[in-house]
Structure 1
Amino acid sequence: MSKHHMEKITCPSCHHEGDFEVWDSINTVLDPKMKEKVLKPDCNVCKSAR
């Protein structure tokens, strides 16, 4: 099972504060949709709405 939680972060470039999904563990066998994100690594990128 994949586990994650939300944290508030501040962008070092624009100083905008927002919520960020932090992945504690990712099981690509039980959660195959995450495999592509892990390989890219999209699961570690903050996508701001700005």
Structure 2
Amino acid sequence: MDGLYLDEPEELERYTLAFGNAQGVALSTSLSFHLIDDILTSLENT
């Protein structure tokens, strides 16, 4: 990797989008796990 140059906006934008997508996927995945965990817990309690 040659390094990230700020004078190449499309490169910076690509990295930003990729990073944002990775964060979004990680967030929604962890939210899904929490939701499933809550459902299983409430099923066990009934």
TM-score, with structure 1 as normaliser: 0.18
Please tell me whether Structure 1 or Structure 2 has the larger radius of gyration of its CA atoms: 2
Q: TM-score, normalised to structure 2's length?
A: 0.19
Between Structure 1 and Structure 2, the one with more strand by share is 1
Higher relative contact order (CA 8 A, sep 6+): 1
